[in-house]
Amino acid sequence: MKEKLDQLIGEVDMRQDELIQLLHKLISYKTPAPPARNTEEAQQFIASFLKEKGFVIDKWDVYPGDPNVVGVLNGTYSSQFKSLIINGHVDVAEVNEDEEWLSDPFVPTVQDGSVIGRGAADMKGGLAGALFAIQLLHEHGIRLPGDLTFQSVIGEEVGEAGTLECCKRGYKADFALVADTSDLHIQGQGGVITGWITVKSKNTYHDATRKDMIHAGGKLFGASAIEKMMKIMQALQELERNWAVMKSYPGYPPGTNTINPAVIEGGRHAAFIADECRLWITVHFYPNETHEQVAKEIEEHIHLAAQGDIWLRENPPIFEWGGSSMIEDRGEIFPSLEVDGSHPAIHTLMNVHERIIKEKAVVDVSPTVTDGGWFGDAGIPAAIYGPGSLRHAHAVNEQVSIEQLIQYTKVILSFIYKWCHTRK
């Protein structure tokens, strides 16, 4: 095994120009989300690439113009050896017209040892490395005894969870590796859920009636929904402070669990008392929590706060949580993911990383979120491991180090080979 792996790893060095060219090809497909609905061509390229390597292809539209691609390479002894999912998203962050890129963000360039282009770090670098590893295995006629599944999904940038659709479709494995931006750290993650809190009056009033609802003797039981939302926001801040004091998780700075009042909408126009106000919040929670749990905590706290206000007692706040798309329904969920440090796949990945990189593997938690949580949610052990730094992801002149891309490709090649040769 060692001799064969050493030969394959040596080819990554000798053929790094091909690896870089593959990354260039992936970046050249314009797949920003938003606007989304633009991944068909890129996904067809990946589907054809995998089919040529012997994978059975499943391609279906999650949204029109945005298909998922899943390729399955059945192992020679599937029932006896471990199976693996390699997962990545083909959509990239949006590009604004006023951003000062060195060149067209979808015409990649090489400068100072890095590939520059939208998606280089997040996360077409990870896709390119994994695909090139698969190419080398195929070219050398290596038949893996365990099943290998490759998932190229859509929608991660806007919460559309192409990975969730793969889980719903029944794809499973003994381990899943998400090739997203991690600077070659092996990572879990916290979670995110968005929610809308609505304060709504049962009645609508002309703005001239305000004096009757706020001054002595007016006898009009009414209120501005905007002003009442201020009390809701204060209650959220109190809960956020309590979480920062009472909750913690190893590897996270204190207070990483936040409740962000992101968007507020309210009122009709200046001639009305505001009869409705909606607050859009983003909640970050720790890897050992669930989105259902934190949503319940918030609702219970806000309902108690509302009971302390005479008007809110009669007009209680309404909650809507999550959503399947930031584009379609202005909501999203990213479940959390805890990495099991004792899992055999984690040990295998750590050993491979240390052998190739010549540095101790770092197992920690990502400060952002990926699709990795959907695997944890589905009961599939998983971790995030990919090239690129978060400071480059989504940035103007987004880039990935060629040296790190080569290192990643060697590691993922070795990990695929070793894990799929591990007996169940």
Catalytic residue among 66, 91, 157, 180: 91
304, 219 Cβ separation under 8 angstroms: no
Q: What is the residue-wise DSSP string for 215-237?
A: STT-------HHHHHHHHHHHHH
Catalytic residue among 11, 66, 156, 165: 156
91 is catalytic: yes
Q: What is the residue-wise DSSP string for 336-400?
A: -B---TTSHHHHHHHHHHHHHH-SPPPEEEESS--THHHHHHTT--EEE--SS-TTTTTSTT-EE
180, 163 Cβ separation under 8 angstroms: no
Two tokens, residue 185: 């750290």
* Distance of alpha carbon 248 from alpha carbon 179, whole angstroms: 27
Q: For 206, which DSSP code?
A: B
For residue 198, the surrounding DSSP H or E stretch is strand 191-200
* Residue position matching structure tokens 């309590």: 242
* Distance of alpha carbon 296 from alpha carbon 292, whole angstroms: 6
* Distance of alpha carbon 353 from alpha carbon 391, whole angstroms: 22
275 is catalytic: no
For residue 128, the surrounding DSSP H or E stretch is helix 125-139
Active site (catalytic) residues: 91, 156
